[in-house]
Amino acid sequence: PYDVLVVGGGPAGASAAIYAARKGIRTGVVAERFGGQVEDTLSIENFISVPKTEGPKLVASLEEHVKDYNIDLMKSQRASNLEKKDLFELELENGAVLKSKSVILSTGARWRNIGVPGEEEFKNAGVAYCPHCDGPLFEGKDVAVIGGGNSGIEAAIDLAGIVKHVTVLEFAPELKADEVLQERANSLPNVTIIKNAQTTEITGTDNVNGISYIDRETEKEHHVELQGVFVQIGLVPNTEWLGETVERNRFGEIVVDSHGATNVPGLFAAGDCTNNPYNQIIIAMGSGATASLGAFDYLIRN
Ligand code: FAD
């Protein structure tokens, strides 16, 4: 069996695996798509000590670093079930079962898509999901935020300090964000909030040049000219496959303590799939290191 089996090969999983292997213990990584969300990122400017890089480039160095160690890297393999017997038993979609004394879950998350024409086409060309990552690219420009929940209104407040103007489009008749956030957003001169707005299309040529929506009250269609659209309708953790195996919160995020430990002894988690706040590469790597050291502490005591 493995000593540490990592499920997920994004920055959290890669970091967890390297920290484990450096203890000289038997380490494996199962990853459906090595690199995770980083593979989909064009430009990264907040990975501290690397002023500017690109997703696929960072993924290549992650893989090189993992391969410097004696780590069993199982790419293009999807985990479908986890059980704790004497050992943890991780079942893969191909039917194989891997056994390990401890497991680190780092399956990440995915942004919920709005699913309108133009969204796929203009990803990385004006359609964005992460204001911390891509906000500065829209300095001095006009942008829209789709979604009036906490993340949407936080994004609008954040972006208002960088861009020229922010239009928030909320489908429902009311915003779902906390009252304090709504008050703050309403107080900003360069934020316009439109409720009852059903986004119908993101328009553009090479890059985004506007957004169309239907006012659900009047049923009239409107078009706003702008250069960027931030979709903020939810980040979904990739944890559905775990069922009741491990405690998750109401968002489906795995609940971890400050050591990355879950409610199941020997089972740890890190990165965007957990209830850690703030989803960023540098944070995912740090939490992967934490979970791995947590797992090592567990192994030397059991
Ligand atoms: P992920 O990167 O999501 O990796 C999850 C891993 O688990 C993948 O290998 C996946 O294939 C695997 N997996 C999932 N389910 C299973 C399963 N059942 N079995 C096996 N494997 C599974 N952050 C920044 O700091 N700076 C940026 O500039 C930045 N830009 C971004 C741009 C975009 C478009 C996106 C989408 C995100 C961006 N982020 C950025 C956020 C950052 O990418 C994430 O916070 C980070 O990748 C999270 O790392 P993770 O390892 O927790 O999860």
Q: Give the residue, by CA position, lying nearest to ligand 1 atom 31.
A: 41
What residues form DSSP beta bridges with 222?
Answer: 213
CA of 109 to the centre of ligand 1 (A): 6
Task: State the pairing for strand pair 208-215/220-225.
Answer: antiparallel
Q: What is the dihedral of CA 186, 192, 194, 200, to 10 degrees?
A: -150
Q: Is 44 annotated as a binding residue?
A: no
Work out the pLDDT band at 43, boundaries 50, 70, 90.
confident
Query: What is the model's pTM?
Result: 0.92
Pocket flag, ligand 1, residue 100 (CB < 6 Å): no
Q: What is the whole-number distance in angstroms between the Cα of residue 10 and the centre of ligand 1?
A: 5
pLDDT digits (tens, 9 = 90+) for 255-272: 999 999 999 999 999 999
Nearest to 200 by CA among 223, 166, 175, 228: 223
In 170-241 the beta strands, taken as DSSP E runs, fall at: 191-194, 197-204, 208-215, 220-225, 228-231, 235-237
pLDDT, tens only, 58-68: 999 999 999 99
Q: How far apart are CA 244 and CA 168, in angstroms?
A: 37
Cβ of 32 less than 6 Å from ligand 1: yes
Query: What is the spatial distance between Cα 203 and Cα 119, in angstroms, rounded to a whole number?
Result: 9
Report the separation in Å between the CA atom of 70 and the middle of ligand 1, taken as the mean of its atom positions: 23
By the 10 Å C-beta count (0-12 exposed, 13-18 middle, 19+ buried), 216 is classed as: middle
pLDDT beyond 90 at 42: no
Is the distance from CB of 252 to CB of 237 less than 8 angstroms? Answer: yes
Joined together, the tokens standing for residue 170 give 């909320």
CB-based contact 21:27 (threshold 8 Å)? yes
Q: What's the rounded Cα separation, in Å, for the pair 269 and 163?
A: 36
Q: How confident is the model at residue 40 (pLDDT cuts 50, 70, 90)?
A: confident
Q: Ligand 1 centroid to 30 CA: how many Å?
A: 14
ipTM above 0.95, yes or no: yes
260 is in an annotated binding site: no
